[in-house]
Structure 1
């Protein structure tokens, strides 16, 4: 794109989510859960409570831990340790079997830390090329994510995030994103920016819906991910027809588009 074309092009603003929007991450959590429950069965053998009970107990404990830990690294490990101790106490009462071992807790903590092993992260197909293209077209790209602030710098360096996002256009939140977070990371000013188009791009409601309250100039692009979206809630499955495209229901908002992947951003959005 020539300098003249760039100068005359409309410059829009794009606020991207990270996990399961630009790279795959949820699978690390699911794998950690699977490894944890498998390890409990290895420890307790035929004394293990049924899987449904184990899962119910664990996720209730993790929910309680969230009040103290939030999104910080360590929440999963602590919830797993507490669940392990609960089952140990239950086995001691039910079978008079003392199965607690320190080495078990050491190994469980390693399992609980798996989701923060950023060395296994991979960019989703098309993500880097889209970000590069938007920057070449003169658009402003921002990054807004909920993540542990102590771990993020190493993760960002590994992924090469600063190649695409300036540090002043990166914002981390401690919980669910708010419209104020979008204002802060994008530098939105109603008086001067109402003529530009603003886009929030992600795979969940908190990635998309909050900025729509700011102005009608904000739009959402919903990219459902197989691990984090309501695929099995699709009407295709409710009707018993088996889904052909496995897409979950779109968000019920006229300013939100649903697309299959990051590489499918509409040309009217990117200016291609």
Structure 2
């Protein structure tokens, strides 16, 4: 009787995540993101950029490892579960252990923004890892199912786009330069938020490969939040640069 009760809780947490995605999107529209270029000079206590990114993303790596270490992670004996959890962990290993240390300069992040991101990463890290390690049931040949194969390819392509786009953004300024520039190259030729597009593709791929409410909820949450932030970036570029390419879409090439 214990098992179905927890499965129901994990499903409820996934539906709550969907609701939080829509709510977060609405709130971000009302009160725009307030870090990086949008931070007001006298903003509340700020966390240095590198430390903020490392700390806030780390729970998505640490919580799953803790969840799997403290229980007999029965389902992880199966290849599909192991691969799906590895996909999740690989992203967050890059985001928490590599990405922050590549940041050049970077404005401090408001403490509350960092705390919100940290809290989400605890929540989502627990949700994804608990479901995959204990309850997600896949046929042994799931890794050859078209949904898994297409999803895995999307996840990989999305992650590479995300990393490449971050690389372009980091290298916009030559050493000693300040100020903002229009990103060029890669998918920035087509969209304002190429790095966000990569992340949306990545988690939609993960959601498809996992074929679960939990994976789908994370993909939906990511899309809601990043779309809203991409719209803010797009407006900012159009206002700041008269020569900003008008044909560029917001987040999805050729569409939106």
For the superposition of Structure 1 and Structure 2, which TM-score range results when normalised by the shorter chain? under 0.3
| Structure showing the higher strand proportion among its residues | 1
TM-score by length of 2: 0.25
TM-score by length of 1: 0.24
| Structure showing the higher helix proportion among its residues | 2
